[in-house]
Homo-oligomer: A and B are copies of this chain.
């Protein structure tokens, strides 16, 4: 049988769409229910669209697509690179599928079909698929602690589900289900006990279940979630590196008992997102409570002010609680995307506005900074501080600016698929009403309720929602009031920040609801257990975290010497000419004068002389678009 018969099980056109029987508070909008009509995000999404063909060419150049062709017997050759390379192709396919749904394009669809044909040909008779393992003749599943075979499977499944939901093409879904059946016959109780070191297959299997209705995929995901935490994903035997440390793989403590995320950040958040999917689909309240607790612990103690997670270059890992250095923040792009996926699932599960606040924070300040304004260059690592004259390492260093591609190219196509499906994260709803979580000019529809959203967000805090169609009954229209938006009003009535302003009534076409969110610049300080930012402030305005970058400062002022005066006003100024249009913040700070040469001196003595200077801040996401310059998010204050 083909699987297309099952593809109508849910009506969502986006990622992570709970099944009809899932235990959720909110549901994604039905297919095409969320459409951007202009504004800030539409520009970024358009740049991402333009980057898709470039990305395809980079996958050709890097050999990823060649690997699949060799595995398919189309060409001779060896396999290039590590055995996770197929996953980059799958993520590109997922992006292409979402993008086609957003704005149909036959050329993209042809690419999708061509790659689907190659992938289907490469697939082994019994469903197994990994081009590098196959071409090299390596034993399957023999080195799961490094082979990424189920990681690739997971990204294949996600691409297949996207293709089915977004384009109606089910060829990739057939490949996916054959592979998933092979996995289900190989792993699970009484079968192979080892686990894949890099999670993603958990949430992918749940999505495949949602798309096909085949419960065995959900059961396998459930098994993978509970089997982890006993060292079965960890490299066996002694290895004098983090590869022998179960913490590296989210494999030290079962998720139901865990009190903190640790180890490799992307692995940890992908796994938590998969566990959340399992909790939603199985109605497992204990598991949901566990992942909520983990999210909260991460947010409170292991998240940078930008929303990014992951502090350590070594092992690409979460650090200790409060280990949040701006200057060597690892903050991998994929970890931010995984956190977004996790937060989205928790938002659906709970309806808690705090997760939508997190999605906002992540989109503007942890994911968007990873891509250039042109949409074609990427950060793998997202530092929060680059020093004057900094030189770094070649592959992942922000010191060299964004790069077109990476040897380990997980991040670029991850950005692509996220931006291609972006509007799906903006609202939820069903026949009972509509809940708007993120603000952008958009056309939104939930059941019979259709609205138009107009706003200059994130530069201005006014949002106008105009009803276009409405049913002849009471429905709810809810607007998120962000946690930072003190003093907000809806139609002039004060509303509380950090929740939803909910209107329940019979709406009429032409009804206008106006949300006003004041956007003063805000000075933030960190918990003083965050050693790395002691004595510093961060600046935010609306949803955006700001930064100082060298080109905006007066000649002769070195970025390291700038101090922020917390008493001085921060004046917003919109600059349409600058960085594709940004609102900057202008203030008066101080420049610390030259200090003595000795790095360590006795405590006390006179304070360094400082003179006033103008200081201009830009949104953090826009940095590094003018060459490699010094930048900092956390800025020393003139006074503690």
Residues of chain A touching chain B, judged by Cβ–Cβ distance below 8 Å, are 239-242, 244-245, 247-248, 262, 299-301, 303, 305, 312-315, 317, 319-328, 385, 387, 389-391, 393-395, 406-408, 522-532, 534-538, 560, 566, 592, 595-604, 608, 634, 636-637, 640
Residues of B within 8 A of A523 (CB): 602-604
Contact between B527 and A387 (Cβ–Cβ < 8 Å)? no
Contact between A407 and B240 (Cβ–Cβ < 8 Å)? yes
Residues of B within 8 A of A313 (CB): 312-314
29 contacts between A and B (CB under 8 A): A240-B395, A241-B393, A241-B394, A241-B395, A242-B393, A242-B395, A245-B394, A262-B391, A300-B597, A300-B598, A301-B599, A312-B328, A313-B313, A313-B314, A315-B393, A319-B328, A320-B390, A320-B391, A322-B560, A327-B532, A525-B601, A527-B596, A527-B601, A528-B636, A529-B560, A534-B535, A535-B535, A535-B640, A640-B640
Contact between B391 and A247 (Cβ–Cβ < 8 Å)? yes
Shortest CB distance A401–B (Å)? 15
Contact between B524 and A603 (Cβ–Cβ < 8 Å)? yes
Residues of B within 8 A of A599 (CB): 299-301, 303, 305, 322, 324, 526-527, 530
Nearest B residue (CB) for A598: B300
Shortest CB distance A558–B (Å)? 10
> Which of A323, A534, A538 is most buried by chain B, counting CB atoms within 10 A of its CB?
A534
Question: What CA separation (Å) do A597 and B301 show in the bound complex?
Answer: 9
Residues of B within 8 A of A317 (CB): 393
Question: What CA separation (Å) do A161 and B103 show in the bound complex?
Answer: 74
Residues of B within 8 A of A536 (CB): 531, 534
Residues of B within 8 A of A326 (CB): 531
Contact between B393 and A522 (Cβ–Cβ < 8 Å)? no
Residues of B within 8 A of A327 (CB): 319-320, 323, 325, 531-532
Question: What CA separation (Å) do A241 and B248 show in the bound complex?
Answer: 21
Question: What CA separation (Å) do A391 and B407 show in the bound complex?
Answer: 29
> Which of A390, A532, A538, A566 is most buried by chain B, counting CB atoms within 10 A of its CB?
A532
Nearest B residue (CB) for A407: B240
Of the candidates B244, B526, B592, B600, the one whose C-beta lies within 8 Å of that of A525 is B600
Residues of B within 8 A of A303 (CB): 599
Shortest CB distance A565–B (Å)? 11
Nearest B residue (CB) for A408: B240
Question: What CA separation (Å) do A603 and B538 show in the bound complex?
Answer: 9
Residues of B within 8 A of A407 (CB): 240-241
Contact between B385 and A602 (Cβ–Cβ < 8 Å)? no
Contact between B394 and A244 (Cβ–Cβ < 8 Å)? yes
Nearest B residue (CB) for A239: B394
Question: What CA separation (Å) do A530 and B245 show in the bound complex?
Answer: 32
Shortest CB distance A389–B (Å)? 7
Residues of B within 8 A of A390 (CB): 320
Residues of B within 8 A of A524 (CB): 600-603
Given contacts A320-B391, A534-B636, A566-B604, 20 further A-B contacts (CB under 8 A): A240-B408, A241-B394, A241-B407, A242-B393, A242-B394, A299-B599, A300-B598, A324-B599, A327-B531, A523-B603, A524-B600, A525-B601, A525-B603, A526-B599, A526-B600, A527-B596, A528-B608, A529-B595, A532-B532, A538-B600
Shortest CB distance A589–B (Å)? 14
Question: What CA separation (Å) do A62 and B262 show in the bound complex?
Answer: 30
Question: What CA separation (Å) do A419 and B389 show in the bound complex?
Answer: 38
